Amino acid sequence: MSDHAPRITAFLRASITRSRETERVGPFLASFSGDTGNPFLSYAIPDDDAEPTLADVAALNSAYLRHERVPRIEYVPALAPVVEGVLLDAGWQPENRLPLMVLAAGTSLDGDVPPGIQLVTPATDAEFVATAAAQNEAYGGPPEGPEAGTALRRTTERGGRVVLAQVADTAEPIGGGVFVAPHDGVTEIAAIGVRERFRRSGVATAMVRRLAQEAREAGATTVFLMAESPVEERIYARIGFETIGEMLHISDPAGHRYGTGASDVG
């Protein structure tokens, strides 16, 4: 197991505590987004070396259903190897196993933005909404209202950064991404999304490079992300990210009547 994994998990706990309602449920730190039913924004993290009981899992389910949220957990299974088996016994099902990648120290982040594209830092409500809309479309979510940019604005207010990719001539939004405020030198690049007709043009690579550079400037010494697919893993590897393990997303399918929306920042 990489030495990075415990620090990354500590960052994730600090991040959800800073931005959401949280509740201690047995060996789990459960978080609940009050702004949206997006299931990716409400999840629990087990303690390192946690050994939950079925009663603990039942209590966790009850907590999420009480908040009308999908019972979900996101964690590094190598840090709590007993947890997955207990969840499976309780009827939970894995959603995804994502490569956990860390930017190698000293990696050069030089690179060109694709021709005709510009990367901007959102500052107005319209720009935050445009970023959220592009990300949501990229992840296959339904159209969102004017409040969609609220979470992104809060990310910047709390010390993180947001990037919006757009067509240079028309300002048409193409995609977006974020990094969360660093904690103890660690931050996550997340919610990298590019609308389908603009993919395979280098936009995602340019956004990740930009965010990684800004994260370093903000004091991050460990910059990590999770690749959504083998294609993304290869793209990020070319930038300089190295796979150090995996992140397991697992949930109780009985709770999936709650929650809609695209993947967003954790």
42-56, 65-79, 228-242, 252-266: segment of lowest average pLDDT:
252-266
Place of tokens 């030089």: 110
If you average pLDDT over residues 38-67, what whole number do you get?
Answer: 95
Residue 202: predicted pLDDT: 96
The pLDDT, as a whole number, for residue 1 is: 60
What residue type is 207 in one-letter code? M
For 24-28, 82-86, 161-165, 261-265, which range has the lowest pLDDT when averaged over its residues? Answer: 261-265
User: Which pLDDT belongs to residue 258?
Assistant: 57
d(CA 233, CA 123): 30
Pairing relationship of beta strands 241-251 and 28-32 according to DSSP bridges: unpaired
Quote the CA–CA distance of 88 and 118 in Å, as a whole number: 45
Separation of alpha carbons 65 and 58, rounded Å = 11
Amino acid at 206: A
Helix axes 230-239, 203-217, angle to 10 degrees: 50
Residue tagged 């947890």 (tokens)? 83
Place of tokens 């965010």: 211
C-alpha radius of gyration, the chain, whole number: 18
What is the predicted pLDDT for the residue at 99? 98
Annotate 130-190 with DSSP letters as a single string: HHHHHHHHHTTPPP--GGGGHHHHHHHHTT-EEEEEEETTT--EEEEEEEPPPBTTEEEEE
Across 19-42, average pLDDT: 88
> Tens digit of pLDDT for each residue in 102-127?
999 999 999 999 999 999 999 999 99
Domains and CATH numbers, the chain: 4-101+246-255 (3.40.630.30), 117-244 (3.40.630.30)
Question: What's the DSSP call for residue 7?
Answer: H
Q: Looking at the predicted structure, is the pLDDT value of residue 87 above 60?
A: yes
Instruction: Indicate whether 262 pLDDT > 50.
Output: no
Check whether 260 has a pLDDT greater than 50: no
Of 36-45, 56-65, 104-113, 221-230, the range with the lowest mean pLDDT is: 36-45
Question: Where residue 266 falls among pLDDT bands split at 50, 70, 90?
Answer: very low
